[in-house]
Amino acid sequence: MPRIAYVNGRYIPHQSAQIHIEDRGFQFADGIYEVVALIDGELRDEVGHLDRLERSLGEIAVAMPMPRRVLQIAMREMVRRNRIKNGALYIQVSRGIAARDFKFPSPAVRPTLVMTLRHMTFDIPARKAAAKPVVTVPDIRWKRRDIKSTALLGQVLAKQIAVNEGAAEAWMVDDDGFITEGASSNAWIIDAKGRLITRPAAHNAILKGVTRSALQALCKQEGIEFVERAFTPKEAYKAREAFTSSATALIMPVSSIDGHKIGNGKIGPVTDKLYDLYMEYAMNPSRKEQKWNPR
């Protein structure tokens, strides 16, 4: 079955999908994106991802390319046409096509909308068992990390450092010596008292993850102590447990940070419980989705 892409209202073969050379997303990274997990035929945390898409577009003064309900119909049509039950739906909106110039183009220029869908497997027992190493790198990104921008060079370079060092993820460290987040995930540790700690979303220091928001709500529901505060690599090295969260990686247990073994190097009890709680939440189509909050 050939893959199908969406480009500005047209469903076309993936290998034929193109955008104009002067699309501002291509020349300036002047755009926003979202990635929505498709698990067992359901788009997970769809409300949160669309809330964040609208918010990010508003922050850069780009209009939604179509009403939300129409976009949701197009998203489901992508799933239907690709005949995929498990995967990742990529959505990208740019400011549109215009002669190359740093200033905004005419208001008449319409945003560009593209979507692709690729197959992924969500082997939950295998994922839970596979604790993986992370490394820390300097955070060289711009200061509006709350915006899910397509300008991802800092994350690309961080991820490649991780790959070169045999790690699965890079945790980025700001100029004050505190961990912000992963190259493509949020960063979490569990301290000796069993408290769950992650970087606050205040002051645009991180992108507030949709999966992160769901986990925060589940912690409150289950009475798991949740603390939003900055933490250093040195504190992370001494953590009882650590993990990352993202839309497609879900929850990834961390075995080591910069070579420092975390716990016994395997998934810990708090992470294991959160994994089960999140998957119960994500796999239940009748659940009420958590509303995403940018703060």
Give pLDDT tens digits for 174-228: 999 999 999 999 999 999 999 999 999 888 999 999 999 999 999 999 999 999 9
Per-residue confidence (pLDDT) for residue 292, from 0 to 100: 46
DSSP for 161-203? HHHHTT-SEEEEE-TTS-EEEESSSEEEEE-TT--EEE---GG
Q: Residue 294 pairs with which residues in a beta bridge?
A: none
pLDDT tier at 243 (50, 70, 90 boundaries)? very high
- Residue 9 exposed, middle or buried by CB count within 10 Å (0-12, 13-18, 19+): exposed
CATH class of 125-282: alpha beta
CATH of the structural domain 4-122, one choice from 3.90.1150.10, 1.10.510.10, 3.30.750.24, 3.30.470.10:
3.30.470.10
Taking Cα atoms as reference points, which of 203, 154, 151 lies closest to residue 183?
A: 154
- φ, ψ of residue 215 in degrees (nearest 5): -65, -40
Which has more confidence, 291 or 284? 284
Where, residue-wise, is CATH 3.20.10.10 in the chain?
125-282
More confident: 128 or 9: 9
Given a contact cutoff of 8 angstroms between Cβ atoms, the answer to whether 186 and 245 are in contact is yes
Confidence band, pLDDT 50/70/90 cuts, at residue 295: very low
The per-residue pLDDT for range 252-284, each reduced to its tens digit, is 999 999 999 999 999 999 999 999 999 888 877
3-state secondary structure of 159: helix
135-145: b or e for each residue (b if 16 or more CB lie within 10 Å)?
bbbebebeeeb
User: What integer pLDDT is reported at residue 291 of this predicted model?
Assistant: 52
CATH 3.30.470.10 region(s) of the chain?
4-122
Entry pTM: 0.93
- Identify the residue whose tokens are 């669309």: 50
What is the CB neighbour count within 10 angstroms for residue 76?
13
pLDDT of residue 293: 56
Active site residues: 148
